Amino acid sequence: MALDLTATVADRGLDVTLTVGDREVVALIGPNGAGKSTVLSVIAGLLRPDAGHSELAGRVLFSLGTSAPAPTCLPAHDRGVAMLAQEALLFPHLTALDNVAFGPRSSGRGRRASRAIARRWLAEVDAAQYADRRPAELSGGQAQRIAVARALAADPALLLLDEPMAALDVAVAPALRQMLRRVLVDRAAVIVTHDVLDALLLADRVVVIEDGHVVEDGPTAQVLAGPRSAFAARIAGLNMVRGKAEGHGVRSPQGQYVEGLAEVPVEQGSNAVAVFRPNAVGVYVHPPGGSPRNVLPATITELEPHGDQVRVRAADLSADITPAAVADLDLAPGVQVVFAVKANEVAVYPA
Amino acid sequence: MGGAAVVLLGTSAGCGSGPEGAAGTTGTTLTVYAASSLTSTFTELGKRFEASHDGVTVSFSFGGSSDLVAQIDQGAPADVFASADTATMDRAVAADAVEGDPVAFASNTLEIAVPPDNPARVTSLQDLAEPATKVVVCAPEVPCGAATQKVEEASKVDIEPVSEEQAVTDVLTKVESGEADAGLVYVTDVQAAGDQVEGVTFPESSAAVNTYPIAALTDSRNADLAKQFVDLVTGSDGRSVLADAGFAKP
Amino acid sequence: MGSGQRPVGLPGWVFVPAAVGAVFVLLPLAAIVARVDWEDFVGLVTSDSSQAALALSLRTSATSTLLCIVFGVPMAMVLARTSFPGQQVLRSLVLLPLVLPPVVGGIALLYTFGRRGVLGSTLEVLGLQVAFSTAAVVLAQTFVALPFLVVSLEGALRTSGQRYEAVAATLGARPTTVFRRVTLPLVLPGLAAGAVLSFARSLGEFGATITFAGSLQGVTRTLPLEIYLQREVDADAAVALSLVLVVVAVVVIGLARGGRAA
């Protein structure tokens, strides 16, 4: 286990437990304000938690709180944790090469050795040609590459990435993502992201934080295919209804009942979720009298383009239908409709 | 009060100033520029002048004599000028600022001032030449400094001061605070300082006597009042006040 | 910006008070220049006393600027980057020499370092004479000039924020390394500006010097003191020396700003 973390930060309402394996990349996702950046700050040593315990590669990062036998809190520079933010934050007064060499030099290596290490990492991130440029002469994407090289050149035991692609052009992000995929192999890292692609392509595990607490933690494919938290469902682009298991389906606290197929047995009355894809949903103006077992009344809140289809949103649910259908049915925000989905398109599993 | 009024009437009549006399003009300000060593004496005389001249306020500007001459030269609104030495008054005369001839009204000699406990055991002028003694004097460019140089030359004593101050009051403050072991100031300053300093007289001081002249100024807007004030200073009232403060006759 | 580009948001009437302010400052300088006796100028400014005063002024101002940097940088760092109870009060007190009349500052220094002052008596026993020495001049100048540097630098530090320092720490740099390689280089412009202000203030310092250090040629009589003394006897010398002081100040400030712009 590379990182072991338990931390409480009272005035941010944070209370989390987290682990990261030796060569594992964990994606930390959640709504804004959930506490993801706070978690990174706590790990990096930039924020002192009120209580908790953390170890990285055998070294105690902090041990605080009333139950801690000997309170310790390592300063940031002693932790071996490197951080990459949305902004590259390259030191403006140093060249790209000296920026990347900063980590090795800070750990005591001489200038020449540090620069050699820096050149190697610049080549690794495909940025060797920018070695002698100053940060002011670099584009956002180039700067972010060099920031990655700088973080890795410091030889950290754990790498933290805080939405690294968020400030970049959509056109530039894919190249950076590919590069990260390459350099994160065999490395322990935590990446905070809003983008499902980051989770899918880079992360081995996904941890979902909502309101300062971990609500879901599991391998990427599993979480995105079968989300148990509202946010994971949203990021995976799936509809989800939570509630108590009843019969073959789930009854929500509001009284809605959705029937589906359970792959694993679900105990009656226990917490369960029913998940289905938007393009399995049909939209009707009048309730259909047909085979679909699930007929859910809804009021349209918005229509948005989704590929070559139109996504019809109604409160927490969405349906993908063709533009022609939207025109035929004369759909618009505020119109009362009915969402119908076949039971065999709905997956039910324990929450 | 009545007696003073009679005296003033007498002196103003003696100068032939006409029917204005002691009544004066109401609401007037008489501006007197005087050397700083004259501060307490002239303030007292100013009060007496105001008492006998209804509606007249005497406003003083005390400072270094050369500063005052420079200001007068630049057109400062002064009616009377009293300087700490004749050299500075001569500059005022040369600048055509003086009405008539200046009158000498007092003289002053130097005295050694030491802090109350006399830490350096100074008893004579020669003691000031001791290297270990911290002596503060006036800069040669100001009247008391010129006097200091004359005294040094006449007595063949070479004083190496640690500081040459711009004004006598600065010398005095350094001695009072114990910063300096001794300073060369005027007899009147030692007297005015009271318990703050001890005075050590020395015979060589007679080599440099500063004569204080006073004069009315040409640009004065109150020529008659100016003359009356000059008369007060040079008359018996002035003489007694000045003598009380330690000034000698001119 | 091209030559034809107009500044946005600058109303035309702004130029009027700006011009008035500029004239207000420049006109007295022009008045001095107009009064200079050019025939005797070289003689007046190269006299023994003038040279001694100028050399002393430059030496002491340079030393006090150095002291301002040595003490002012840590002060600015503490004020800008930490937070403790009473900090606001401490900041106000540290900036006090800015408002204090220089003569009052000199008196305060006298009460501290004078022979009978708080520290003075101890120093005298140790054989360190402060009063009437060049050291006293440097002390007086440092006292009045320090707040300039602290204020300039504190502002620059606050503006630059701490993000780069955080990154540097996560890369493994110890606090001293962070200070040396990240913080200082980033606030160098602010530091330079503060140092220039301190130097200029030291150069022109008069009231505290004459009250605390005294006035003796070559030891404590800096250029402003020399000018003040020359006024007593030779107005032309005073004017000539004033011009020298102005030129020195302009050159120093010009060099410093030019160096930064480069």
Q: Where are the beta strands (DSSP E) in chain B?
A: 28-35, 56-63, 80-82, 98-108, 110-114, 135-138, 163-165, 182-186, 198-200, 210-217
Q: Report the C-alpha gap between A175 and A178 in whole angstroms.
A: 5
Task: Render pLDDT for A64-94 as a digit per residue (tens, 0 to 9).
Answer: 988 778 888 999 999 999 999 889 999 999 9
Would you state the pLDDT for residue B215? 93
Q: Say whether A100 sits in a helix, a strand or coil.
A: helix
pLDDT tens-digit series, residues B186-236: 998 898 888 889 999 888 888 888 899 999 999 888 888 899 999 999 998
| pLDDT given for residue C229 in this prediction | 87
For residue A293, how many C-alpha atoms fall within 13 Å in the half-sphere facing its CB? Answer: 14
Interface test with C, best of B159, B164, B173, B196 (most C CBs within 10 A): B164
Contacts of C181 in chain A (CB under 8 A): 102
Q: Which pLDDT score is estimated for C235? A: 80
Closest Cβ–Cβ partner in B64, B136, B177 for C232: B64
| pLDDT exceeds cutoff 70 at A24 | yes
> Given CB atoms, is B163 within the 8 Å cutoff of chain C?
yes
- Give the pLDDT score at B21: 44
CB-nearest to B179 from C114, C229, C232 is C114
| pLDDT tops 80 at residue B247 | yes
Provide the 3-class DSSP secondary structure of residue B110.
Answer: strand
Question: What's the confidence (pLDDT) of residue A221?
Answer: 85
pLDDT band at B80; cut points 50, 70, 90:
very high
Higher pLDDT, B121 or C115: B121
Buried b (16+ CB within 10 A) or exposed e, C199-224: bbbbbbbbbbbbbbbbbbbebbbbbb
**Minimal Cα–Cα distance from C96 to chain B, Å?**
24
Q: For strand B28-35 and strand B56-63, is the pairing parallel, antiparallel, or unpaired?
A: parallel
Q: With beta carbons under 8 A apart, name residues in chain B contacting C131.
A: 134, 162, 179
pLDDT in tens, A41-57: 999 999 999 999 999 98
pLDDT at A37 over 70: yes
Token reading at A161: 């990435």
A93 contacts C171? CB cut-off 8 A: no
pLDDT value at position A145? Answer: 92
C-beta atoms of A89 and C171 within 8 A: no
Beta carbons of C115 and B136 less than 8 Å apart: no
Residue C67 domain flag:
yes
Identity of residue A191: I
Q: B interface mutation test: which of C215, C220, C227 has the most B CBs within 10 A? A: C215
| The pLDDT of residue C4 | 66
Phi, psi of A124 (to 5 degrees): -60, -35
State how far the Cα of C181 lies from the Cα of A104, in Å rounded to an integer. 14
Whether residues B136 and C214 touch (CB distance < 8 A) is answered with yes
Name the residue in chain C with its Cα closest to that of A152: C171
- Number of CB pairs < 8 Å for B and C? 58
Contact A82 C170 (CB under 8 A): yes
Q: Is residue C6 part of a domain?
A: no
Q: Inter-chain contact A102–C163, Cβ cutoff 8 Å? A: no
Total of domains in chain C? 1
Does the beta-carbon distance from C231 to B70 stay under 8 Å? yes
CA distance A212 to A36: 8
Tell whether C46 is covered by a domain: yes
Is C35 within a domain? no
Q: Is residue B24 scored above 60 in pLDDT?
A: no
Average pLDDT taken over every residue of chain A: 90
- Non-local CB neighbours of A16 within 8 Å, separated by 6+ positions: A5, A6, A7, A35, A39, A209, A212, A213, A214
Identity at A148, one-letter amino acid code: V
- Render pLDDT for B35-51 as a digit per residue (tens, 0 to 9): 888 888 999 999 999 99
What is the mean pLDDT, run by run of 10 residues, along chain C of 262 residues? 69 92 92 86 88 94 96 93 88 88 90 83 78 90 94 89 92 93 91 91 92 88 91 84 89 75 50
DSSP calls for A241-289: EEEEEETTEEE-TTS-EEE-EESS---TTSEEEEEE-GGGEEEESS---
A chain contacts of residue C176, beta-carbon cutoff 8 Å: none
- On whether residue C21 sits in a domain, the answer given is no
Residues in chain C with CB shorter than 8 Å from the CB of B67 are 231-232
**Does C19 reside within a domain?**
no
CATH number, domain of C109, equals 1.10.3720.10
> Could you read off the pLDDT of B97-111 as tens digits, one per residue?
888 889 999 999 999
Q: Which chains touch C (3 or more CB pairs under 8 A)?
A: A, B
Residue C13 domain flag: no
What is chain B's mean pLDDT, rounded? 84
Token duo for residue C169: 């720490």
- Chain B residues with CB under 8 Å of C115 CB are 178-179
Q: Is the pLDDT of residue A264 over 90?
A: no
3-state DSSP percent of chain B in helix, strand and coil, to 5: 45, 25, 30
Q: What is the pLDDT of residue B15?
A: 35
Does A76 contact C170 at a Cβ distance shorter than 8 Å? Answer: yes
Percent of all residues in chain A with a pLDDT value above 70, rounded to a whole number: 100
Contact criterion met (CB below 8 Å) for A303 and A333: yes
- Is C235 at the interface with chain B, CB within 8 A? yes
Q: Check C166 against A75: CB less than 8 A apart.
A: no
Q: Do C163 and A89 touch (CB under 8 A)?
A: yes
Using a CB-CB cut-off of 8 Å, the residues of chain B touching C231 are 66-67, 70
* Buried/exposed A105-138: b ≥16 CB within 10 Å, e otherwise: bbbeeeeeebbebbbebbebbbbeebbebbbeeb
Q: Do B162 and C235 touch (CB under 8 A)?
A: no
A43 reaches C (C-beta below 8 A): no
Contact A82 C168 (CB under 8 A): no
State which amino acid sits at residue C106: G
Q: Give yes or no for A77 touching C (CB within 8 A).
A: yes
Other CB atoms within 10 A of residue B95 CB: 13
Q: Is C71 touching B (CB cutoff 8 A)?
A: no
Predicted confidence at residue B5, as pLDDT, reads 42
Residue A242: per-residue pLDDT? 87
Query: Which of the 8 DSSP states describes residue A301?
Result: -
In terms of Cβ atoms closer than 10 Å to its own Cβ (0-12, 13-18, 19+), residue B90 is: middle
CB-based contact, C214 to chain B, within 8 Å = yes
CA distance A39 to chain C (A): 15
A89 to C175: CB separation less than 8 angstroms, yes or no: no
Structural domain harbouring C109: 40-261
C216 within some domain: yes
Pairing of strands A158-162, A317-321: unpaired
Question: Looking at chain B, which residue has its C-alpha nearest residue C132?
Answer: B162
What torsion do the CA atoms of A34, A35, A37, A40 make, to the nearest 10 degrees? Answer: -140
Q: How far is B170 from chain C (nearest CA, A)?
A: 8
Residue A166: band (very low, low, confident or very high) from pLDDT cuts 50, 70, 90 = confident
Contact C167 A85 (CB under 8 A): yes
- State the sign of the Cα–Cα–Cα–Cα dihedral A72, A77, A79, A81: positive
pLDDT digits (tens, 9 = 90+) for A123-139: 999 899 999 999 999 99
Say what the pTM is: 0.76
Residue A166 burial (CB < 10 Å; 0-12/13-18/19+)? middle
Residue B2 has pLDDT above 50, yes or no: no
